[in-house]
Amino acid sequence: MLVLPVKVLDIRSTEPVAMISHKTASNLKFRHTMIINIKNEFTDKSFTATPVVAEGMIEDGVIGISQYDSEWLNIKDGENVVVSIRRSPVSIDYIKTKMKGNNWSQNEIYAITNDISRRTYTSLEIASFALTSQFQGYSSQETADFAKAMAECGNQFDFQEKAFDKHSIGGIPGNKVSLLIVPIVAAAGLLIPKTSSRAITSPSGTADSMEVLADVTFSPEEMTEIAPKARGMIVWNAPLKLSPMDDIVIGVKKFLDIDPQEQMMASIVSTKIAMGIDNMVIDVPTGAGSKMENQKIALDFAHKFIGLSRRVGIDTEGMLTLGSHPLGRNIGPALEAKEALEILEGKINESVLNKSAELAGTLLEMGGLASPSNGGKVAKEVVKSGKALSKMQEIIEAQGGEKSIKSSDIQIGAYSHTIKSARNGYVYEIKNLVTKKVCAAAGTPSTKRAGLVIHVRMGDFVKKGDSLITIYSDSETKLSSAIQIATNNTPVVVEGMVLRRVKLEG
Amino acid sequence: MLVLPVKVLDIRSTEPVAMISHKTASNLKFRHTMIINIKNEFTDKSFTATPVVAEGMIEDGVIGISQYDSEWLNIKDGENVVVSIRRSPVSIDYIKTKMKGNNWSQNEIYAITNDISRRTYTSLEIASFALTSQFQGYSSQETADFAKAMAECGNQFDFQEKAFDKHSIGGIPGNKVSLLIVPIVAAAGLLIPKTSSRAITSPSGTADSMEVLADVTFSPEEMTEIAPKARGMIVWNAPLKLSPMDDIVIGVKKFLDIDPQEQMMASIVSTKIAMGIDNMVIDVPTGAGSKMENQKIALDFAHKFIGLSRRVGIDTEGMLTLGSHPLGRNIGPALEAKEALEILEGKINESVLNKSAELAGTLLEMGGLASPSNGGKVAKEVVKSGKALSKMQEIIEAQGGEKSIKSSDIQIGAYSHTIKSARNGYVYEIKNLVTKKVCAAAGTPSTKRAGLVIHVRMGDFVKKGDSLITIYSDSETKLSSAIQIATNNTPVVVEGMVLRRVKLEG
């Protein structure tokens, strides 16, 4: 164990780096496979790193760490940290037990969650945890225990009244329904403190779209002030630190391209526990190109999810929704915010409104504000009356945005290109995956004003030369690479009624 | 893609490090999760690294890599490498297929093996491969395909005649039988080009013990000259690069403390294919504290192993051996070399000779030099006649050692301590695991002269004050920490005939 002053390095890396000299390493009794623990001298905040031992880059008796890690420790350049060889946490042994097929006890789950949340695992150990979760699965009890443990290891909130929420498992481009559901439900009188993620690979997360209209980044203290104001909010979940474990595990899961189902359910539900949610509706889009390719899988998931929610005291209903193609016309942060406002302004009345009203309506029924099966109708009336729009303006104001913003005020990418149909025929397919790729090439989600507009709907008859989609971007280069993708593999497939003639061969 | 001069850094780390400045990173279009490929400008030798982007530590337009990695690329300081963002290898997708339960084709197995061997996987991806192997297992065909692919991706040898080999799956301290089997089999007239590993956590690998008597580190070219000389050899396997994939995967497996059985079998067999082995005997120690805790598991393993060997054209017999306690008296590199020489010199005739003769005898039977079930007897005669000793001297000479070395010439650690029995009783247990820990504390395997001698055998009657073990070390500090471990948890358990009296409670 050594007490060493920190040198904050202007350094970025995927793994936490701790840079020490050969001499410091030898004082630490460095061995090749050593893992070290770096701890704030005065608090129990620490993290695990695999050191880089370098000569001529860092002085003896100093440890170099990144800006991010120094902030994690709440340590400034020159202040001391305690550096020691990390002993393998006991909870690592529990992962081995699970590999052998044993179930975890509640205490074991808490220990694993706590150790990961506090950054005592290396990324290889996190991979081991994630893959073991993937292969062995969790029992219902384990899943519920994880949800509770993950919530306990993060910030928790209590709004002192019934809180409602809607969650979508995602995967469908253009799914801007939260921007409608929140104002509808809040306008009807229920509290809906919605936390949302940003997009990683999809064109826009709810937080990305909302950010076009108002701020979404709030500290836990600020959030607790905002939520009761308009009784609805749409804020970014990350700064609230609802589930530190999930934030840590997600990088490894993304990298390995795995998403253990029970772990995913536990982490969704953990954030709802943390936010003090009592009633929830979950949107499970299903269909080709969505996360749940068929209804059987989607139904099974919904049942499991509802069961899990019950176990932790959240009353949940599920809704299987059409997910084989993008929702609505606009895709991309600004374009989706624009479409949502247009609907609230009463300008359009299509599938997005229907889906939003059904989901919002379910919450209204649960909250006793609509009779059974009547929620969707009540929700639509809230939109038609203009109450949902006023509520949205209140929410925007509460989150520091321009209250009077109109859909027409929203700026879209300066460069655009419209792709037209090469033939007469029917719109046979609008592909989720290709749509996402085209948007990514155009600059979403980091470029808010990028995205695309779909001019046609499934089954429409189009003539040669009719507009199919328009791509928007802030950069000519990005636009042309998006066009390239859309040309090679069209997101909108137009076919004649006869798809193929099959003749006897030979 | 950038062509950059290399700066060879005096740097050590568990993961490959590539250090670049922020400006270089931005020229590479760095993103947070970027993985890069670093390639020799003129050959196809390359490796994958996650870059560390640092300011003030490395100049713009230069890439810093470790000595090890520069040697891997065969690149000197200042020479150019081609740096590009690594595209995910196609074989990564095959791992996902396997996660879903599909079997691998021969081509897929070759692609995975080749990609890992050429260092295109990150350690997280290797973890994903290893854990998927662990959870999903391999079919017999997959295991055989891996064995062949791993052999093809490394150096391969052909001695133009029948080659024999013995392999032990290890785990038993003091298992110096190869130092006897090789000279016995070679003295009898068969070719036995034995390659052995060094110890990682155990007190001594065969290569560590042999190194006390002669060199064991030879290039592939040197090895092909040595093998025919005495028709027997005991060399370190690593420099022969028989299985580059295994060398890469083993670190991750050790770290995660997993050892997928079929993967382990495939990697053993791959080295035998690479060495052109035709006939083999496999030693499977079984019992408490060994790798195979009971005979059923050991038998199952032996059957699988024999089946796998057959599939790749190696005629193999298995031998389940007593593995619940250390083999022989001496443990540690020098002590084991000493005991092996003592046996060859005819000074002792105990369990080590019996086990060695049985294993060697099996090979003699396979080679037609002994009638069925008579091999052990023939092997013992080869020892008794002094032929095995002369052969060992030939082998030692061929490997650059002192031909005339005697067991009494071998130096043992200068510091020693003998632990005595605290009571009268019978030797009830000699613990593999504690023995290993005591040896490790004393300095094995890196300190050749460290280790311990067991003065008693299972079932012996000992009196209070009789010597149980003597620990040897080159360092007083290490000796005392070894004594501490042996005192807290004795490796030799002495009990009365009555272990415990059980009375009615209450």
Average pLDDT over residues A177-202: 95
Average pLDDT over residues A420-427: 91
- pLDDT-derived band at A33 (thresholds 50, 70, 90) equals low
**Which pLDDT belongs to residue B98?**
95
- pLDDT-derived band at B201 (thresholds 50, 70, 90) equals confident
Interface predicted TM-score (ipTM) of this complex, two decimals: 0.80
- pLDDT-derived band at B237 (thresholds 50, 70, 90) equals very high
Q: Where are the domains of chain B?
A: 2-85, 164-239+272-398, 415-495
Coil vs helix vs strand at A456: coil
Contact A127, B127 (CB under 8 A): yes
Residue with tokens 């109450």: A387
Pure H helices in A231-277: 244-256, 261-274
Q: Are A9 and B54 within 8 A, CB to CB?
A: yes
DSSP state of B492: E
Shortest alpha-carbon distance between residue B422 and chain A (Å):
34
Give chain B positions within 8 Å (CB) of A17.
Answer: 52
- pLDDT-derived band at B504 (thresholds 50, 70, 90) equals low
**Which pLDDT belongs to residue B247?**
86
Residue B127 contacts by C-beta under 8 Å, 6 or more apart in sequence? A124, A127, A128, A131, B252, B256
Contact A291, A171 (CB under 8 A): yes
- pLDDT-derived band at A299 (thresholds 50, 70, 90) equals very high
Give chain B positions within 8 Å (CB) of A134.
Answer: 99
- From the CB of residue A462, how many other CB atoms can be counted at a distance below 10 Å? 19
pLDDT digits (tens, 9 = 90+) for A99-152: 999 999 999 999 999 999 999 999 999 999 999 999 999 999 999 999 999 999
Q: Are A13 and B50 within 8 A, CB to CB?
A: yes
For the cut 60, the answer to whether the pLDDT of residue A506 exceeds it is: no
Closest chain B residue to the Cα of A123, Cα to Cα? B124
| Percentage with pLDDT > 90 across chain B | 80
Give chain A positions within 8 Å (CB) of B123.
Answer: 124
Closest chain B residue to the Cα of A51, Cα to Cα? B13
Coil vs helix vs strand at A251: helix
CATH classification number, A2-85, choose in 1.10.10.10, 1.10.340.30, 2.40.40.20, 3.90.1150.140:
2.40.40.20
What's the pTM value of the predicted model, to 2 decimals?
0.85
Which stretches of chain A sit within 8 Å of chain B by CB? 9-15, 17, 22, 25, 32-34, 50-57, 96, 99, 123-125, 127-128, 131-132, 134-136, 251-252, 254-258
How many Å separate Cα B125 from the centre of its chain? 23
Tokens representing A139 are 């029992």
**Which pLDDT belongs to residue B254?**
87
Q: Are B52 and A251 within 8 A, CB to CB?
A: no
Q: Are A131 and B136 within 8 A, CB to CB?
A: no
Strands A279-286, A315-322: pairing kind: parallel
Tokens representing A452 are 């695309």
Question: Residue A361 carries which side chain, given as an amino acid letter?
Answer: G
Which stretches of chain B sit within 8 Å of chain A by CB? 9-15, 17, 22, 25, 32-34, 50-57, 96, 99, 123-125, 127-128, 131-132, 134-136, 251-252, 254-258
Best mutation target, B57, B132, B261, to test chain A (most A CBs within 10 A)? B57
Question: Residue A113 carries which side chain, given as an amino acid letter?
Answer: T
Handedness of CA A92, A97, A103, A106 (dihedral sign): negative
For the cut 90, the answer to whether the pLDDT of residue B332 exceeds it is: yes
Q: Do domains A2-85 and A164-398 have the same CATH topology?
A: no
Shortest alpha-carbon distance between residue A55 and chain B (Å):
5
What would be the CATH architecture of the domain defined by B164-239+272-398? 3-Layer(aba) Sandwich (3.40)
Residue with tokens 């260092």: B119
Q: Are B127 and A131 within 8 A, CB to CB?
A: yes
Average pLDDT over residues A495-499: 72
For the cut 60, the answer to whether the pLDDT of residue B134 exceeds it is: yes
Domain covering A164-398 in this structure, CATH number: 3.40.1030.10
- pLDDT-derived band at B50 (thresholds 50, 70, 90) equals confident
**Which pLDDT belongs to residue A502?**
76
| Percentage with pLDDT > 70 across chain B | 97
What CA–CA distance (Å, rounded) separates A395 from A406? Answer: 14
**Which pLDDT belongs to residue A254?**
87
pLDDT digits (tens, 9 = 90+) for A305-363: 999 999 999 999 999 998 889 999 999 999 999 999 999 999 987 789 999 999 999 99
Give chain B positions within 8 Å (CB) of A132.
Answer: 131, 135
**Catalytic residue numbers of B, as ranges:** 259
C-alpha closest to that of B472 among B424, B432, B415:
B415
What CA–CA distance (Å, rounded) separates B70 from B84? Answer: 17
Average pLDDT over residues B86-107: 94
- pLDDT-derived band at B14 (thresholds 50, 70, 90) equals confident
Q: Compute the count of residue pairs across chains A and B with CB atoms less than 8 Å apart.
A: 110
Tokens representing A38 are 């770096």
For the cut 90, the answer to whether the pLDDT of residue A206 exceeds it is: yes
Tokens representing A502 are 């099959």
Average pLDDT over residues B444-465: 94
Beta bridge partners of B429: B493
pLDDT digits (tens, 9 = 90+) for B345-382: 999 877 899 999 999 999 999 999 999 999 999 999 99
- From the CB of residue B105, how many other CB atoms can be counted at a distance below 10 Å? 14
Packing angle, helices A244-256 and B123-136, rounded to 10: 80
Mean pLDDT of chain A: 93
For the cut 80, the answer to whether the pLDDT of residue B415 exceeds it is: yes
- pLDDT-derived band at B31 (thresholds 50, 70, 90) equals low
C-alpha closest to that of A377 among A353, A346, A395:
A353
Give chain A positions within 8 Å (CB) of B12.
Answer: 22, 25, 32, 52-54
What CA–CA distance (Å, rounded) separates A243 from A224? Answer: 17
- pLDDT-derived band at B15 (thresholds 50, 70, 90) equals confident
Higher pLDDT, B505 or A85: A85
- pLDDT-derived band at B38 (thresholds 50, 70, 90) equals very high
Q: Are A13 and B52 within 8 A, CB to CB?
A: yes
What CA–CA distance (Å, rounded) separates A239 from B48? Answer: 33
- Kindly write down the DSSP assignment for every residue of A285-310, as one continuous string: EESTTSSB-SHHHHHHHHHHHHHHHH
C-alpha closest to that of A52 among B52, B6, B63, B32:
B52
Q: Are A12 and B33 within 8 A, CB to CB?
A: no
Q: Are B99 and A251 within 8 A, CB to CB?
A: no
Contact A372, A364 (CB under 8 A): no
Average pLDDT over residues B145-174: 95
C-alpha closest to that of A355 among A230, A211, A168:
A168
**Which pLDDT belongs to residue A428?**
87
For the cut 60, the answer to whether the pLDDT of residue A401 exceeds it is: yes
Average pLDDT over residues A359-384: 96
- Kindly write down the DSSP assignment for every residue of B166-190, as one continuous string: EEE----TT--THHHHHHHHHHTT-
- From the CB of residue B238, how many other CB atoms can be counted at a distance below 10 Å? 17
Residue positions counted in chain B: 506
Tokens representing A63 are 């440890």
Q: Are B13 and A124 within 8 A, CB to CB?
A: no
Output phi, psi for B341, to 5 deg. Answer: -65, -40
Tokens representing B413 are 């650690």
CATH homologous superfamily for the domain B415-495: Pyrimidine nucleoside phosphorylase-like, C-terminal domain (3.90.1170.30)
